[in-house]
Structure 1
């Protein structure tokens, strides 16, 4: 069924933001006299947020006295580096162009705070192109709660069951299913090596962004 709207998770799904996180975290580790981490190790935790990166890099938990200091420093350095090396995932530009050509609205539902999301989208030239952008600032409960997805569908003027939601984390698929949307698991995203995404029970699994194109074009002459 051709979707009436497509919504994306941000980090690890629509945009590859890991390169900027790699630079920032390893810079902070160097300043602290700690060894640098591999790109792969950092990428696997980006979707889990800045707190997970502090834990990964410094071996701290939120209960530790220094955790907040490291977290604030990480966020400040990341904010200063937004969109330097971040970019759409390969093939995603063609997906967005196809959506726009078909006049299918697309938007973003993310757990990334608006403080970072808005300037990132502006820096990538996406702010004027996308429809609803739902951040934790706009909801009472973040993903895996479906609230953000339901708000996005409402803003787009479409029924949730006519939408696709694309994400690279279990919480994305859980949120999409709870909202009644068809779910797509992005296997090119920031997957934790200890997780089996096939156990998420997404409706569709894609290895590349380009594999979204047939989903967009499906039954294009019939109602969504």
Structure 2
């Protein structure tokens, strides 16, 4: 699908964190809980926001300066997961305009779904609380296939479930990995510039077919305005 051929769209797939939902406050809170347990002061929640899309890797990088290569990372990651599970619903919300966007897609008979690197342990909790996700045609989590984005397997699993060709889908996300995965899967790609993006990210260089500054701008691409 080229950037000019949006008329072929049969379905829209979305990343979750930073694209459909703002989970950064709860992810940051979970990391701060680990700092408090070690006698460290809390960091401002805004300091975690840019890296919220990177999950435990991003949060532990901000909270403790750790990388997955550090010996203490695996243990802290499991502690972070437990902490996050306890506060996962405290402040997480759907981004402004998402409810209206989804309603407009549904009203135009376009299927929509979620493809995230977040483990099903957490996506199931979010879907249970946020009734919007009852209407998703498919939800693919980070452990649904043997691979995570930027590998295309999760996106290809989503279109297999939907029963449509990959070039009939577009994928919307706020991370370079989203664009890479979408392109590898043969989908059109849209970079959500209102999302987390990552530290020092230059999202306009990711090579997405289009960018949007707010969710409803997607309707302009799809000629649904």
TM-score normalised according to structure 2 size: 0.91
Q: 1:50, 1:191 → 2: CA distance? A: 16
Q: Is the 8 A contact 1:9 1:166 kept in 2?
A: yes
- Residue in 1 aligned with 2:3? none
What is the correspondence of 1:62-141 to structure 2 with a 5 Å cutoff?
62-141=68-147
Q: Is the 8 A contact 1:118 1:127 kept in 2?
A: no
Deviates more, 1:57-66 or 1:73-82: 57-66
Q: Work out which of the residue numbers 143, 147, 153 in structure 1 matches 2:153.
A: 147
Deviation at 1:62, TM superposition (A): 3.3
SS at match of 1:137: coil
Deviation at 1:216, TM superposition (A): 3.4
- Asked if 1:53 is matched to 2:65, the reply is no
What is the correspondence of 1:179-190 to structure 2 with a 5 Å cutoff?
179-190=185-196
The runs of 5 or more residues in structure 2 that have no matched partner are 1-5
Q: Is the 8 A contact 2:97 2:216 kept in 1?
A: yes
Where in structure 1 do 4 or more consecutive aligned residues deviate above 6 Å?
A: none
- Residue in 2 aligned with 1:192? 198
Deviation at 1:135, TM superposition (A): 1.4
The runs of 5 or more residues in structure 1 that have no matched partner are none
Deviation at 1:39, TM superposition (A): 2.6
How many corresponding residue pairs? 219
Q: Is the 8 A contact 2:53 2:198 kept in 1?
A: no
Tell me the C-alpha RMSD between the 2 structures.
1.7
- Residue in 2 aligned with 1:28? 34
Deviation at 1:84, TM superposition (A): 2.3
Deviation at 1:196, TM superposition (A): 0.6
- Residue in 2 aligned with 1:177? 183
Q: Is the 8 A contact 2:118 2:141 kept in 1?
A: yes
Deviation at 1:63, TM superposition (A): 4.0
